[in-house]
Amino acid sequence: MTGALLLTSAPTASADYVRDQQWVLDVFTMQDTWAESQGEGVTVAVVDSGVDASHPDLAGQVLKGKDFTDSGGNAQEDVLGHGTGMASIIAGHGHGHGKGNTSGVMGLAPKAKILPLRTLRTEEDRNADETWAAAVRYAVDQGAKVINLSFSNDYGKTLSDGREAIAYAQARDVVVVAGAGNNGGDISYPAALPGVVAVGAVDKDANLWDNSNTGKELTITAPGVDILSADPTRSSGYAVASGTSDATAYVSATAALVRAKYPDLTAGQVINRLIKSASFLGHKGLKAPDEGYGYGIIRPNKAVTMDIPKGPKEGPLGKLPSQASSKAGSGSAGNDDSSTRAKKKSSSISLPLVLGGIAAVVVLGGIIFAVVRSRGNRGDGGPGPGGPNGGPPAPSMDYPPRQSHAWPPPHPTAAPGQAQHPNPYTSHPPHQGQ
């Protein structure tokens, strides 16, 4: 991928420049949706690089969580920035001094709580199968109702630890959401596992992102291009990025909205509501499930307002074999056996985050820097040279280095106050192909 500026004009006078960049809030008519549900009473576990609990847009939303890395540090710290970004997309509430929360990032479920579970610290760290599996079990035992997995295996399928942990979650009524991958290949693991909500990415025009992985396992798609989120590693505190990572967080947030509005629904019935309320948004000739769009693009407002029958308790996606879920949770409160277990295991898979491909940092105060940030969710493209059966995994070429550009450019290409982008998300009939 080559670096590119994501913004098309210099900052304009507005209530909050950061808030103005969150196009998803407008296309999803979130003000109307929040009148129905804000995710209150629902805990979403973010298995990631930690979550910066001090970020003003997340203050009070982040639970203590747990660090599963060898560092034994604090899950409320995030030196990579990715986990904080996902948390802000899910449950950011913005900030403001005496003017309401009119500044900063708003997530789709601003009253949900975030359980941060740190399973890696830097881009170079291996997110071992048994490490994130222990975090998933811990999330279940701590009462999380949705688990966000914005990462994928670099090579091969999810190992037994991961499969058993996800089965453990499914058997205990938890919605598990994972990114499809960012290399334009097949659906990555763990997203490809039965019962997991596998998420692809679309852009402002409701078109599939070029790098979004596709396949028969894809469940649903969500906005994942030019997404603004919190980032404590940037001087502004924000970044703009693209990837199925961000799309996954939007689906997790929508699941939280549904769980808050309909607390009697099972995890399978929540997934059913996500699917039945989705739409192909004018893409004609598609039949659900489509390998590029799954059952369609999420529509949070419809997910909480449509008259949809509950359906079977197990939901439409099925589950992993139940016998795998019979093991007790190894990461329950006060029990650190999961960390010890992770250290003893020798098998691991290189699991860089589903980091969105191109990112731009938003700097308030009149100076904007566009930063290309790699959110390299590597897809499950098979073992490849030097894969798990032939030594350490070979480096993946779809994880570009960071590049940065000064912003604004010397000659802005668009003038302030230009017409707003049309909203294809509201101009098409409901879900097609079912």
String of DSSP letters for 274-334: HHHT-B-TT-TT--SSBTTTBT-B--HHHHHHS------TT-SS--S-GGGG-SPPTT-TT
String of DSSP letters for 321-375: -GGGG-SPPTT-TT--HHHHHHHH--------B---SS-EE--SSS---EEE---
Residue 125 known to be catalytic:
no
For residue 46 the two structure tokens come to 């973010």
How far apart, in whole angstroms, are the C-alpha atoms of residue 133 and residue 129? 6
Type of residue found at 22: Q
Residue 268 falls in which region: left (phi positive, over 0), alpha (psi -120 to 50) or beta:
alpha
How far apart, in whole angstroms, are the C-alpha atoms of residue 222 and residue 179? 10
Q: Which helix (H) or strand (E) holds 254?
A: helix 244-261
Could you give the C-alpha distances from 83 to 146, 207, 231, 261, in angstroms and in order? 15, 26, 9, 26
Count of Cβ atoms closer than 10 Å to residue 391 Cβ: 9
Whether cis (ω within 30° of 0) applies to the bond prior to 289 is: yes
Phi, psi of 371 (to 5 degrees): -120, 125
Options 55, 82, 93, 283, the catalytic residue: 82
Smallest CA-to-CA distance from 248 within 212, 288, 286 is with 212
What three-state secondary structure class fits 424?
helix
CA 411 to chain centre: 35
Residue 82 known to be catalytic:
yes
Options 212, 229, 242, 245, the catalytic residue: 245
Positions marked catalytic:
48, 82, 245
